Structure 1
């Protein structure tokens, strides 16, 4: 058996998987986010992350056969910044990934000080809200007491692995997002020019995802129920684990993650550096990713359902109501177009100040038209992020879609129609499942990454809608024009 746990933005999931890739037990636990100030998105590591891991592990290990667990892997949202003391106690809530946009001034200062070209040369990326380095600089500027007390600056799964094993380790795939502190070509930390806010002694040791970080300690075993001495691999963030869990491990394959936000990973055999996209190592040595992302996806649909009074205690009912309502409209939402930038936007605009907008509304429009426009707007946003990858000398020959929003046919069909790409939707349980495979690989129970394809089951295929192509492609051009038109207004209001 292999235990995989993933801590997401709003929910943590765990699976117990046998050597044939069959899920023999699953568990989940919900948690929330905190937004204490505009642009800030935080979580309490103890209450939201560690409590989930402990509860899920205890739940899964009650299953018959769980005593045969051979290895554990944990992934989590990232890149986050977790400042801890020497005893791994968090000194403040964790600062989340790209949806937290507080470090704008630090991004500007670091870019000016190091030089944009040097940052790209070193890290393969420009600095954005997805970069962890500026958030460490923000701690020094805005919370100097926390910064001085910090023994470690970690990310989410690093801290969880440390809680399990006592070892402070980060994988290359996540370290690659700590720009400008990681040298992509060297595969190592490089803090030159950043010594005023970070030093190597306070950053985790870097390892490949499937390397053993350590073993479960006696203290962690008492709390989690995982047997003492069980091997724990270094792990990774949720997105690479999702890619593995969906069977995306080879050159030219694209994982489209339709979660709370959107995240898209194109696996390659060499590093590709393109402005506005994220270049980083993948989970296996000698592999790389070119990635893009949106700031909202599932969060926008939840907001929409709440706004339209469709929410219920059951998520499935909530979203089926929303889809049914939007289905009363038609492709193109009868001329209503939405910009779903409720938390800024990442690819291709990289604009944390951008906000949502609706245009084309008339007295003839209905709730159904608004619902359809926002769902299609999410599709436009995702399509823009995928097309940015396809146009960067990174051809895509296979797309695998995963995540909760794959249940939304309007969003999915909008994306396929605009991009012209067929999408394979898998029944993979997600990042937790990918973690179970990575754990198996880490202890030699499977030998090659490609063996994961024998674990994955395809649920359906989504193809372009030829009847809607003309209207959605035309709307997509207007979608980009809408952003350009309103961006100066949002930037001015953000000052």
Structure 2
């Protein structure tokens, strides 16, 4: 048996698989996000531990005998979070999360230094880890002076599980401290934020062993002591391992809280000017590119909240037949945007509202607007040297066939729906736990699921969506000019 632990923004999920990679059971525990000021987004890392305890306890209630045969653990987690530890191993402050934009000035200052893009292959985004530490140095100097270790969220779980400060390449590539081509910390980048290598965790590949379960904790959790813990992966790379998106040219579109257009690469292909992320993958000798949309299903959830309807009701009201875009356009920049604009200050909006614009029209505009944002990412990936011919859809939004038909038509390519099953980050983490425990071939383990259905673009509506997309593209500079 192999356990995948996925630390998400809203919950921790524990997923158990057997040696045939069949899901045996799963459990989860909820988390909350604190927003003490506009643009801030924080979590108490000890709440991650409490939620992980709860998820494992729930799983043990129904699968105690299977957990007794556990042989490996893999970790996944939301990326970029700044989790700071002092010399006594105590938390210094709440973790500053990936969608926190307070460090936009510090990010711009670091990004103005050419060595950051040159060595990391990425723009220094406000959500990344390095600018958050620079923000701490400016605004919380007493806290910054106490920093002994900076850990990414899933690696704080590892510290609790194994007592060791270790990270891996895919997650660390999102800090702005990693030389992504060389797969190692860079001393000059660390020095630019007042840090040294000794304040960073040790680095391994995601498929390698990175600690073992402490005996005293194993007894408490009802798990075998000394179980190897894999390096694991950041959540998107872990999802790619779960989806089998590891070979060059394979891609998926994740319609989750945020949106990700993810492409696997067998070489390092940086092009930071396109605002595409170029990161290490979780498997040795592999990389990946991502276009990132900060509000995907989050935009639909927002609309559901203000219309007092759940998201499933909203999408059901659209019907089953794709129709041409309406007169209402939506820019999904509720938390700013990464690809292609790198603009943490921009905010979303509707355009073209009229007396006839009912709830269905607004829902359709949100679905189309997020899909147009994916098309922006597709164009950015092409600019960065990656041409895609099809994608596999995952995430909560992929349950809406209408949304997938919109996405296929907007992207102009087939969208595959995998067969039923859980192929997300927790499954990918469990696969990495299996690989590390058994020294298995990563490419033999991380295979894609069978395709249950393919949704092809609606060619009759393609030109109408192309025209709507051109109007959508014109709105960003207009909105930027009106609000900056």
Taking structure 2 as the reference length, the TM-score comes to 0.94
**Kept after mapping to 2: 8 A contact 1:241/1:431:** yes
Q: Indicate yes or no: 2:342 matched with 1:350.
A: yes
Q: Indicate yes or no: 2:123 matched with 1:122.
A: no
Q: Residue in 2 aligned with 1:154?
A: 151
Q: Which of the numbers 184, 188, 193 marks the counterpart of 2:184? A: 188
**Kept after mapping to 2: 8 A contact 1:248/1:400:** no
Distance between the aligned counterparts of 2:203 and 2:169, measured in 1? 6
Q: Which of the numbers 204, 207, 230 marks the counterpart of 1:233? A: 230
Alpha carbons of 1:56 and 1:384: their partners in 2 closer, same or farther (altered >3 Å)? same
Q: Residue in 1 aligned with 2:313?
A: 321
Q: Residue in 2 aligned with 1:387?
A: 379
Q: Indicate yes or no: 2:307 matched with 1:308.
A: yes
Residue 362 of structure 1: CA displacement?
A: 1.4
Alpha carbons of 1:31 and 1:45: their partners in 2 closer, same or farther (altered >3 Å)? same
What stretches of structure 2 of length at least 5 have no aligned partner? none
* Aligned partner of residue 326 in structure 2, secondary structure: helix
Q: Which of the numbers 439, 443, 446 marks the counterpart of 1:452? A: 446
Q: Residue in 1 aligned with 2:218?
A: 221
- Which deviations, in whole Å up to 9, do the C-alpha atoms of 1:160-190 show, x marking residues without a partner? 11110011011011111111x2112322111
Residue 444 of structure 1: CA displacement?
A: 2.1
**Kept after mapping to 2: 8 A contact 1:245/1:428:** no
Residue 135 of structure 1: CA displacement?
A: 1.0
Alpha carbons of 1:395 and 1:330: their partners in 2 closer, same or farther (altered >3 Å)? closer
**Kept after mapping to 1: 8 A contact 2:27/2:58:** yes
* Aligned partner of residue 56 in structure 1, secondary structure: helix
Distance between the aligned counterparts of 2:125 and 2:200, measured in 1? 20
- Which deviations, in whole Å up to 9, do the C-alpha atoms of 1:200-246 show, x marking residues without a partner? 11111111011111111123224433322111111111110001101
Distance between the aligned counterparts of 1:178 and 1:323, measured in 2? 36
* Aligned partner of residue 252 in structure 2, secondary structure: strand
Alpha carbons of 1:194 and 1:488: their partners in 2 closer, same or farther (altered >3 Å)? farther
- Which deviations, in whole Å up to 9, do the C-alpha atoms of 1:41-78 show, x marking residues without a partner? 1111111x111211112222340322111000111101
Q: Which of the numbers 265, 268, 278 marks the counterpart of 2:265? A: 268
Taking structure 1 as the reference length, the TM-score comes to 0.92
Q: Residue in 2 aligned with 1:72?
A: 73
Quote the RMSD (CA, aligned, Å).
Answer: 1.9
Q: Indicate yes or no: 2:95 matched with 1:94.
A: yes
- Which deviations, in whole Å up to 9, do the C-alpha atoms of 1:25-48 show, x marking residues without a partner? 11122222111111111111111x
* Aligned partner of residue 53 in structure 1, secondary structure: helix
Q: Which of the numbers 466, 471, 474 marks the counterpart of 1:478? A: 471
* Aligned partner of residue 178 in structure 1, secondary structure: coil
Residue 297 of structure 1: CA displacement?
A: 0.8
Alpha carbons of 1:376 and 1:348: their partners in 2 closer, same or farther (altered >3 Å)? same
* Aligned partner of residue 330 in structure 2, secondary structure: strand
Distance between the aligned counterparts of 2:290 and 2:29, measured in 1? 28
* Aligned partner of residue 334 in structure 1, secondary structure: coil
* Aligned partner of residue 335 in structure 1, secondary structure: coil
Q: Identify which range, 169-178 or 439-448, moves more after superposition.
A: 439-448
Alpha carbons of 1:479 and 1:160: their partners in 2 closer, same or farther (altered >3 Å)? same
**Kept after mapping to 2: 8 A contact 1:293/1:347:** yes
Q: Identify which range, 333-342 or 202-211, moves more after superposition.
A: 333-342
Aligned length in residues: 477
**Kept after mapping to 1: 8 A contact 2:374/2:411:** no
Distance between the aligned counterparts of 1:428 and 1:124, measured in 2? 34
**Kept after mapping to 1: 8 A contact 2:281/2:288:** yes
Distance between the aligned counterparts of 1:470 and 1:193, measured in 2? 46
Q: Identify which range, 59-68 or 25-34, moves more after superposition.
A: 59-68
**Kept after mapping to 2: 8 A contact 1:380/1:414:** no
Distance between the aligned counterparts of 1:191 and 1:480, measured in 2? 40
Q: Residue in 1 aligned with 2:58?
A: 59
Distance between the aligned counterparts of 1:260 and 1:193, measured in 2? 30
Residue 467 of structure 1: CA displacement?
A: 2.9
Q: Residue in 1 aligned with 2:111?
A: 111
Alpha carbons of 1:446 and 1:353: their partners in 2 closer, same or farther (altered >3 Å)? same
- Which deviations, in whole Å up to 9, do the C-alpha atoms of 1:416-448 show, x marking residues without a partner? 111112122223421111111111111226424
**Kept after mapping to 2: 8 A contact 1:119/1:126:** yes
Residue 127 of structure 1: CA displacement?
A: 1.2
* Aligned partner of residue 192 in structure 1, secondary structure: helix
Residue 109 of structure 1: CA displacement?
A: 2.0
Question: What pairs with 1:349-368 in structure 2 (closer than 5 Å)?
Answer: 349-368=341-360
Question: What pairs with 1:333-344 in structure 2 (closer than 5 Å)?
Answer: 333-344=325-336
Q: Indicate yes or no: 2:280 matched with 1:281.
A: yes
Alpha carbons of 1:32 and 1:462: their partners in 2 closer, same or farther (altered >3 Å)? farther
**Kept after mapping to 2: 8 A contact 1:58/1:226:** no
Distance between the aligned counterparts of 1:437 and 1:67, measured in 2? 18
Distance between the aligned counterparts of 2:11 and 2:316, measured in 1? 25
Q: Residue in 1 aligned with 2:84?
A: 83
Q: Residue in 2 aligned with 1:46?
A: 46
Distance between the aligned counterparts of 1:111 and 1:440, measured in 2? 38
Q: Residue in 1 aligned with 2:242?
A: 245
Distance between the aligned counterparts of 1:250 and 1:128, measured in 2? 27
Q: Residue in 2 aligned with 1:315?
A: none
Distance between the aligned counterparts of 2:443 and 2:308, measured in 1? 45
Distance between the aligned counterparts of 2:20 and 2:322, measured in 1? 44
